[in-house]
Amino acid sequence: MRKKVTLITGASGEVGTALVERLAAEGNRRILTMDVHPEPDSIKGMSTFLQADILDKNLFSRLVAEYEIETIYHLAALLSTRAEFTPETAHKVNVEGTMMLLQLAAEQSAWRGEPVLFMFPSSIAVYGLPDLDTKQRYSRVREWEWNYPTTMYGCNKLYGEMLGSYFNKNYRQLAAERPVMLDFRCVRYPGLISAFTVPTGGTSDYASEMIHAAAQGKAYTCFVREGLAIPFMAMPDAVDSILELATAPREKLRHQVYNVGAFSISAGEIRDLVVKAFPGTEITFQPDLKRQNIAESWPIDVDDSAARRDWGWEPKFDAVRTFAEYLIPNIKKRYQ
Ligand code: AKB
């Protein structure tokens, strides 16, 4: 008999490690993880880990012979800055990888006679506000507004959302007999900040970089202007939101894609909180205009009222609590 598993792709990344820790602690499921990068020490022994490329088709045929995949958290992606250096590779990983996994989930759903739950993290990168005036005027965007991404990553995520919604509702819509379809659910994350990992390849990375540098007594030069504001979220809330959406009753969900918000903050306000926690830290602003333009095209905040209404989303960490109770104590311990 095939072993029932929850599959997590991109397990070695920031959200991946936090999610594996949380699911492993619950202890009620077998977890299969994969990543093209090695398994971080912090999650060793918590799952069956495969160091593999999600574009490896043979791997997936081998997997389905051995496992019954009940749930997929598809986290593997190339983030916004990195994707601009290698847009073709980003498209392969972010779009073709997602398509392959959706097909796998669709086949598994039909074979099991029960939907595979497919959880997909999207991003504020799907938005593209054309200028600062518009950014000010539409400061809390709803899911369907300003979906004009300016980056390859944003385009890839937006298309991933659409593909998932297609597989959820319209896959093989002209077939005489419709197969059982997968259950696709997506959270659109703001910039995420973790106390335990430092991101790579993103554009919202300045927030994490600033605080991790300060905790190590290093000076930091921020690559966006002081007044630039976008939404952020503490990692525990990011994990909560994807798990809460995963367990929400399907009949309550009116959408496939939900904004999730926590707090909006400018780079200067982050600097103030960091300097308060680590007095004497030297933080300066020297915008890299190209990277700044990417962050500038993202909204100041998101309207997440649909998530609050449909599945009771409520973040636990505002900016002050994120710093005081989550980041500062954990980061201090980490670098001591
Ligand atoms: C990035 O900066 O690319 C990511 C994101 C906002 O999705 N952190």
Question: What are the tens digits of pLDDT across the range 210-246?
Answer: 999 999 999 999 999 999 999 999 999 999 999 999 9
Tokens coding 64:
């389905």
Distance (Å) from CA 295 to ligand 1 centroid: 9
Written as one letter, the residue type at 23 is L
Please identify which residue in the block is written with the tokens 């991933």.
Answer: 160
* Ligand 1 atom nearest residue 204's Cα: 2
Q: What does pTM read for this prediction? A: 0.97
Closest ligand 1 atom to residue 151 Cα is 3
Does the structure show a pLDDT above 90 at 57? no
How far, in Å, from the CA of 316 to the mean position of ligand 1?
A: 21
Per-residue DSSP letter, 227? T
Per-residue confidence (pLDDT) for residue 44, from 0 to 100: 98
Task: Name the pLDDT band for 98 (thresholds 50, 70, 90).
Answer: very high
Distance CA 67, CA 5 (A): 7
Res. 336 pLDDT band, cuts 50 70 90: confident
Range 125-157 burial, b when 16+ CB lie within 10 A, else e: bbbbbeeeeebeebebbebeebeebbbbbbbbb
* Segment 158-205, tens digit of pLDDT: 999 999 999 999 999 999 998 899 999 999 999 999 999 999 999 999
Q: Is residue 109 pLDDT above 90, yes or no?
A: yes
Supply the residue whose CA is at minimum distance from atom 7 of ligand 1.
123
Q: How far is the CA of 108 from the centre of ligand 1 (A)?
A: 30
| Tens digits of residue pLDDT in 311-320 | 999 999 999 9
C-alpha 276 to ligand 1 mean position (Å): 26
What is the share, in percent, of the chain residues with pLDDT greater than 90?
Answer: 97
**Which residue blocks in 224-322 are alpha helix, DSSP H?**
235-247, 267-277, 289-296, 305-311, 319-321
Residue nearest to atom 1 of ligand 1 (CA): 202
* H/E stretch holding 213: helix 205-215
Residue 1's pLDDT band (cuts 50, 70, 90): confident
pLDDT value of position 253:
98
Residues within 6 Å of ligand 1 by CB:
79-80, 123-125, 153, 191, 202-204
pLDDT of residue 324: 96
What span, in angstroms and rounded, lies between the C-alpha atoms of 31 and 145?
36
Ligand 1 atom nearest 153 alpha carbon: 3
The minimum-distance atom of ligand 1 relative to the CA of 298 is 6
- Measured in angstroms, how far is the CA atom of residue 80 from the centroid of ligand 1? 6
Residue 240 phi/psi, 5° resolution?
A: -55, -45
For the CA of 205, the closest atom of ligand 1 is 2
Rounded to an integer, what distance in angstroms lies between the CA atom of residue 103 and that of residue 101?
Answer: 5
Closest Cα to atom 6 of ligand 1: 191
